[in-house]
Structure 1
């Protein structure tokens, strides 16, 4: 693995690994391991399994302490929204994690570096590697800085298309229309740009390696727009954090 990239990633997260091999493994996707005939455990899947558990523990602890009057059902819904695949993928993109991943050639050529499932799994694998290298506190610090640093907005990723649709229906007769406005890049790695129109107004735009991802990001941006204008209101007030 490129040592310069390893150093750059450690600088980005402000953590120096004692065992760099843990971070290297966290960045290896199974497609790369298969292509280079590595052993079955020499990819990030085991670390992702561990990181998922650590993330659930830390996020549960944060919500439990921050909102002492919230009931279990509300806390569970809020946690699910914060650590769902699209939300984690968004956090991974903000971190630029895709640039550091080792992918098989085919996976890389078909846009895997920006795929939600790959990014979210890799983010959890990084959390797992931090837990093994520096303990729970190191993993917690990363989670607070790069995953739970914007809970108020990140949680809106949870089923944001449905949330947007239901919210608009509560105050408008118009239906949001998803429009493909641009696409670029080589055939094997296209980037799509979608916008959401409501009547004569553009609510938000989003891009992604698939039309579905671009539409999801456009819905998220639209929710942020409505929220900034004071129009958006949560379906369940208890989920406001």
Structure 2
């Protein structure tokens, strides 16, 4: 990543890295490491692991203070909704993280930069890098700015938390005999890091598609895609 690109991304993240190699590592997809004969640690997977925990802590802290009268169950549901892959991928795109991911040649040619899973992973890795370079404050500042109006972000995330149920209701209102049908069309990656591609059919026609780390996540993303295409 060249200096100008790094500076633009750092401005978007609200943090200037003391150790630029952390940011570079957070943006390195495993396919790039393989193509360049690098060790397995020279990609974002370890930072992604750390960032996932930092994200959970920042969200839990914010929800705890924002909703002093709410029970644990509601806050846990809100945290899970805000940390979904589709939400993190959106944060990554808005911050410009997706455009900075270093990909292997074949992964880049196949559109890997546009995969929700890759965008989500890079977002979590950047959170981990921010934490290591600037402490919890750096990670917190980026996340709270990225989510924007937090109360509104919670409402929207919870509203989108059950896309399969919403699509089911929409389809049943039109034709109770023809529920949405989900089909796995592609399955990639090793057992510990699977990626699934799913399409959903409504009235016999493909209405949405989605990718995820599990069949459930891919189906949810396909249902979201279908709801958008159906104007719902």
Q: Offset at 1:66?
A: 1.3
Query: Are 1:70 and 2:70 matched, yes or no?
Result: yes
Return closer, same or farther for 1:3/1:209 CA change in 2, 3 Å cut-off. farther
Return closer, same or farther for 1:215/1:169 CA change in 2, 3 Å cut-off. closer
CA contact 2:99–2:113 (8 Å) conserved in 1: yes
Residue matched to 1:102? 102
Distance 1:214 1:73 in 2: 24
Deviations, residues 164-197 of structure 1 (Å, cap 9, x unaligned): 2255379x4457989xxxxxxxxxxxxxxx9x99
Q: Offset at 1:163?
A: 3.3
CA contact 2:47–2:125 (8 Å) conserved in 1: yes
TM-score, length of structure 1 as denominator length:
0.71
Residue matched to 1:119? 119
Residue matched to 2:91? 91
Residue matched to 1:239? none
Return closer, same or farther for 1:82/1:22 CA change in 2, 3 Å cut-off. same
CA contact 2:97–2:123 (8 Å) conserved in 1: yes
Greater Cα offset, 143-152 or 212-221: 212-221
Alignment partner of 1:102: what SS? coil
Q: Map residues 35-54 of structure 1 onto 2, 5 A cutoff.
A: 35-54=35-54
Distance 2:174 2:223 in 1: 22
Residue matched to 1:13? 13
Return closer, same or farther for 1:73/1:219 CA change in 2, 3 Å cut-off. farther
Distance 2:227 2:88 in 1: 14
Residue from 158, 164, 171 that aligns with 2:161:
158
Q: Offset at 1:77?
A: 1.5
CA contact 2:209–2:226 (8 Å) conserved in 1: no
Question: Which structure 1 segments of 5+ residues have no match?
Answer: 179-193, 199-204, 227-241
CA contact 1:86–1:157 (8 Å) conserved in 2: no
Distance 1:158 1:57 in 2: 20
Residue matched to 2:188? none
Residue matched to 2:225? 218
Return closer, same or farther for 1:121/1:10 CA change in 2, 3 Å cut-off. same
Residue matched to 1:229? none
Distance 2:227 2:154 in 1: 14
Q: Map residues 189-228 of structure 1 onto 2, 5 A cutoff.
A: 215-219=222-226, 221=228
| Count of residues in Structure 1 that have an aligned counterpart in Structure 2 | 202
Distance 1:164 1:119 in 2: 25
Question: Which structure 2 segments of 5+ residues have no match?
Answer: 182-198, 213-217
Greater Cα offset, 15-24 or 1-10: 1-10
Return closer, same or farther for 1:66/1:221 CA change in 2, 3 Å cut-off. farther
Alignment partner of 1:135: what SS? helix
Residue matched to 1:130? 130
TM-score, length of structure 2 as denominator length:
0.73
